Amino acid sequence: MRQTLDILLLSTNRTEKSGMKFIVALTVIFFQFFITGQTMDSINIKVLNINAVNQWSRLEVGINLPSYLESAIENFVRKKGKDRLNPFLEWEIKVEASFLSPTGKKIIVDAFYFESFDAKMKNFMPPKNGLGYSDDEYINLGEYIRRENKYIYRARIAPNESGFWSCDVRVILPNNVIESNIIKFWVNDREGGFLTVGKNGRFLEKAGKSFFPVGCNMPWPQTSEKIDPELFGRMKQRMWDGKIGAITEAYKSVYLIPRVYDKYREQLRKYAEGGMNIFRTIMYPTGTEIEWEELGDYSQRMHMAQELDKIVSLAEEQDVMLIWNLQIHYTFQYAKNAYGVNWSWDRNMNGFDFCYKQLLGSDNPLDFFESEDAKRYYKQRLRYIMSRWGYSANIGVFELFSEISNVGTQRADHNDFYRTGDNWIIYRDWQVEMANYLKSLHQGQIHLVTGSFAGEKAKYDNVYEAPSMDIMSSNIYNFGVYSWAQFWIDYVAKRHLNESSESDNSYTISNGIDQRRNVKPLIYSETDPVLIEIKCDSFTVEFDRSLWQSTFSGLAGSLSWMQWFKAGNAETYGRVSKFIEGIDFDKDQWHSGASKLNMKTGEWIYENNYASKMAGWLRPSLFEKRRMRQADLIYLRKGDGSEALGILTNLTYNVYTTSACYDKEFESTFDYDRLKLSGRTELATIEVKREKLQVKGLRKGNHRVTFYSTLNPINPIESREFRGKKLKIRDLKLGVSEENAMILFKISTQGI
């Protein structure tokens, strides 16, 4: 036990004489011991879920600090009294828990400040003006009532071993350290583990088994017309063009009410029950961000932290993984063109500028990335996030910053500054420093870490070569490409994952002197057919096509952005997962059908001869003009060529020929002209033989091809046998219904 009088006497006047200090100190110690039965140094710790401590599940330790410290912390968070202690900054107080495993391995994690709330909705009355809620009305629809909390600090881990564990806690203050007693507890054996990168570096694994992400973005809780039409209908107002429209919370100055989180979790449960195994969420100022108004002070947002607890707990209950983006880029944009106008860099919200603008006193958000003070405080924010949620084996990936390349200009969705000269170095150095910091924490060491770009990263940006970057990520959208297969071939196989490519957009090369290959899994954290998402309220056809085809593209994962907003078909997730069940993508070196595997170097190399048989333009014969195919093909091939799996799709079966969103207004656009030229504005049954599609690169031998409907990927439609190194698809028709417009297939070698 180590203690100094200066720390004991937080409530004494430092101008008093030392003798008086000593008397006061003795009085406080006497009172503390005989009234409460504890000394001033006493730390009480307890396992809070002692009856259900399972391996790979949350273990939570509650921590009682000495009363004088808890009083000082209470003064800080309630903004009262003169003796205050900020529980969020480790240079004021750092509480760390040390866990010892049954095999003697030590795990040290930071504990975090914790508050409990009762979330309640009040009288859900219609808006007074009959149109939409004012901010004041909205805020008063719900409330968070703070509960008394016995343990104001908590420590969490997911034990990676079964058996007897022990734990002790240290409180580290500027001039002393207080230590707790040791407690012991039992952890039950349970299968599980964290998301990892496979040995071959191209796909993901969980608990030693192949894991292919199947899910979408659920960006942040907000009211959606599809998910909560009643509340959405009560959020209307006159917009800038005089029209009446609903303004969701993302564009308002309010904090979310409890109902919004409940609806968000309802949708998460629905998707999980449908078969989704992963979703992506982004910390957003209205409901899931812990720091905005006050630098290094998260006390106003502790109810949001509790809602995040509930989201993570539900993901654990449903066994769904998360990609957790740690910072929305909207806050670092200028209000004039920002997406999140109210929460942007130069917008004062509820009497507060963004706390990092307050710190820097700068109108330029780029100063944030180079300021040592800003980085020092920002690491404390990361420390809190990792200490509270980093334990979870259901968090697969932490993304550092959403679309970091979109920061630095007056335009909201443009990366011209990032791509100018050596400006990319500013973003690279910041991301690497933050990734290194996360990896310095236990919770960061057990999670995958990556960045995020808007579109393709700059040629010389080698951020993903950093050892602290486990996977690669970008947000890549299909801007008006009417063959999704062509999109996946061009972007994935030809540009991003072509390991022989020297193009500006390759993700697989180092631009250093030695041109080292940088083989890591690549995910598209956001993707969608942009034109369709704008024009159509429902785009099930294109969502399904995108989800299925991206699975066979060579990516390690691809997540729709608009699917959650559109509240699409949850069962599609389950069908995809069932079809690929049992496939070991990494160990068996599966790769894009538009690539060939160099067995000597282990590289995936784009092969035009393969790609030309999958999608795009076709010249059927010398007597026919070159035309766009009416069907396309996308598939994966096993490393040794013994197996393949993929999908054939009827391109005339699309959102324009099947959905009510198609209208005469759209016929006047340039995009419709392109679609018409492609011959896909009329629904038609397609004879695949005429499209000359082929699966190539198979090993020699006898093969069996089995076809399935996307609506029933378990029971085959039919099977055929063939011999050779390629499959010419004959006598197969793609129909004009959901059941037969997209046909799955699997190929397996029967013998040589």
For residue 462, pLDDT over 60 is answered with yes
Torsion angles phi and psi, residue 227, rounded to 5? -95, -35
Q: What is the pLDDT of residues 681-699, one digit of tens each?
A: 789 999 999 999 999 999 9
Per 3-state DSSP, the chain is made up of helix, strand and coil in percentages (nearest 5) of 30, 25, 45
For residue 577, pLDDT over 60 is answered with yes
517: burial class by Cβ within 10 Å (0-12, 13-18, 19+)? middle
Which of 33-47, 472-486, 634-648, 652-666 has the highest mean predicted lDDT (pLDDT)? 634-648
233-247, 302-316, 606-620, 717-731: which has the minimum mean pLDDT?
233-247
pTM more than 0.75: yes
Give the residue, 323 or 478, on which the prediction is more confident.
323
Query: How far is the CA of 641 from the CAs of 90, 181, 523, 730, in angstroms?
Result: 55, 60, 24, 21
For residue 510, pLDDT over 70 is answered with no
Domain boundaries, the chain: 5-114+149-187, 478-519+542-556+569-752
> What span, in angstroms and rounded, lies between the C-alpha atoms of 305 and 389?
10
Structure tokens that stand for 469 in this block: 């970057």
pLDDT grade, residue 705 (50/70/90)? very high
For residue 743, pLDDT over 70 is answered with yes
> What span, in angstroms and rounded, lies between the C-alpha atoms of 6 and 714?
71
pLDDT grade, residue 21 (50/70/90)? very low
> What span, in angstroms and rounded, lies between the C-alpha atoms of 554 and 539?
24
Would you say 285 and 340 are in contact if contact means Cβ atoms under 8 Å apart? yes
Q: Which residue has the tokens 């054996």?
A: 189
The predicted model gives 11-31 an average pLDDT of 37
pLDDT grade, residue 508 (50/70/90)? confident
Query: What pLDDT score was predicted for residue 74?
Result: 97
Query: What pLDDT score was predicted for residue 103?
Result: 97
Torsion angles phi and psi, residue 534, rounded to 5? -80, -45
Q: Which helix (H) or strand (E) element contains residue 377? A: helix 372-389
**Which value, to the nearest 10 degrees, does the dihedral of the CA atoms of residues 471, 472, 473, 478 take?**
-130
Structure tokens that stand for 65 in this block: 């600090």
pLDDT grade, residue 744 (50/70/90)? very high
Give the residue, 623 or 607, on which the prediction is more confident.
607
For residue 752, pLDDT over 70 is answered with no
Give ∠ CA 676-663-228 in degrees, rounded to 5. 125
For residue 342, pLDDT over 90 is answered with no
Q: Which residue has the tokens 């069932």?
A: 578
> What span, in angstroms and rounded, lies between the C-alpha atoms of 407 and 287?
22
Q: Where are the beta strands (DSSP E) in 51-162?
A: 59-64, 94-100, 106-110, 112-113, 116-121, 142-147, 153-157
Query: What pLDDT score was predicted for residue 1?
Result: 37
Q: What is the pLDDT of residues 116-125, one digit of tens each?
A: 999 999 989 9
pLDDT grade, residue 513 (50/70/90)? very low
DSSP string of 650-665, one letter each residue: ETTSSHHHH-TT--HH
Structure tokens that stand for 655 in this block: 């959102």
Q: Domain 5-114+149-187 in CATH: superfamily?
A: Immunoglobulins (2.60.40.10)
Q: What is the pLDDT of residues 236-284, one digit of tens each?
A: 987 766 788 888 998 888 999 999 999 999 999 999 999 999 999 999 9
Give the residue, 338 or 482, on which the prediction is more confident.
338
3-7, 145-149, 160-164: which has the minimum mean pLDDT?
3-7
Specify the pairing of strand 631-637 against strand 591-592. Answer: antiparallel
Give the residue ranges of DSSP H helices in 418-562: 424-440, 442-445, 484-488, 530-535, 540-551
The predicted model gives 565-577 an average pLDDT of 88
Which of 379-393, 416-430, 513-527 has the highest mean predicted lDDT (pLDDT)? 379-393
Would you say 141 and 129 are in contact if contact means Cβ atoms under 8 Å apart? no
Q: What is the pLDDT of residues 72-129, one digit of tens each?
A: 999 999 999 889 999 999 999 999 999 999 999 999 999 999 999 999 999 899 999 9
Would you say 548 and 647 are in contact if contact means Cβ atoms under 8 Å apart? yes
Strand partners, 733: 687
Q: Which amino acid is at 97?
A: A
Query: What pLDDT score was predicted for residue 165?
Result: 96
Instruction: Look at residue 178 and give its three-state secondary structure.
Output: strand
Average pLDDT, the chain: 87
DSSP string of 193-219, one letter each residue: --EEE-TTSSSEEETTEEE---EEE--
Q: What interhelical angle do 258-274 and 302-318 show, nearest 10?
A: 20
Would you say 573 and 581 are in contact if contact means Cβ atoms under 8 Å apart? no
Query: What pLDDT score was predicted for residue 31?
Result: 34
